[in-house]
Amino acid sequence: MTEQLRLMAVHAHPDDESSKGAATMAKYVSEGVDVLVVTCTGGERGSILNPKLQGDTYIEEHIHEVRKKEMDEAREILGVKQEWLGFVDSGLPEGDPLPPLPEGCFALEDVDAAAGRLVRQIRAFRPQVVTTYDENGGYPHPDHIMTHKITMVAFDGANDPVAYPEAEFGPVFQPSKLYYNQGFNRPRTQALHDALIARGMESPYGDWLKRWDESDRVERNLTTHVPCADFYEIRDKALIAHATQIDPDGGWFRVPMEVQKEVWPTEEYELATSLVDTSLPEDDLFAGVRENA
């Protein structure tokens, strides 16, 4: 290797990095890859999802500061670097009809202008590989969808000295590959569900599978399966660090670790763009990059 391998994971909120691709990042860190998480918002409008912390007045009044500290802890656990883009959480609108998004929030920003902040991070870090969400956001949170939009613009815009002048945004750079996180996929969920039932255990996925059957959801193309089971414990530890967002006794952790490792030892991605030659399916986000590094 003559060039440092670098991976950038673009996420909407603090905690997204620990629930989507965390074991993959920890694996690459262990191999000497330089990994940077870019977090678009501070999670200011996120709800307290851990029932053990609900009703805590201090946390409710200082949610931004609390979530920043949680992100600091998760970052240390994963061994990654992390940068904030500084946008304001849009919140998840609920109701029928849906209420308007709050003024000044991330999802209402001009896409090209907002992408400029990410262009600056790409040009500074110079990642060969970038990961983010698909056009549906993974799920339809307005910040996840906006994260997809600005990443798509920035992936090409980082190499455009006209749209994003070098004097303001730094020297141009073109990443080689762009992936969508697809960890919450039907094959994985079905395999874990079936394994638990076969072992006479309760499955937390029955309702998930039923909702999938009743929806018109189209399954994504899982192009890349990264073996990373040895890092599942690190993934879970990082997720638990986001104490306001996850209940350590909740559904996320009901599948025994030994079952997870045996039945589904990979994390999945969808290759969206590649400017290097690669053959599918892959087991490495840097396939085609390593050969040219």
Q: Which residues are annotated as a binding site?
A: 13, 16, 144
Annotated binding site for Zn(2+): 13, 16, 144
d(CA 102, CA 104): 6
Sign of CA dihedral 228, 270, 35, 79: negative
What one-character-per-residue DSSP string does the chain give?
--S--EEEEEESSTTHHHHSSHHHHHHHHHTT-EEEEEEEE--TT-----TTTTT-HHHHHTHHHHHHHHHHHHHHHHT-EEEEEEEPP-----SSSPPPPPTT-GGGS-HHHHHHHHHHHHHHH--SEEEE--TT-SS--HHHHHHHHHHHHHHHHTT-TTTS-HHHH-S----SEEEEE--S-HHHHHHHHHHHHHTT---TTHHHHHHHHHS-PPPP---EEEE-GGGHHHHHHHHHH-TTT--TTSGGG-S-HHHHHHH--EEEEEEEEESS---SSBS-TTTTTGGG-
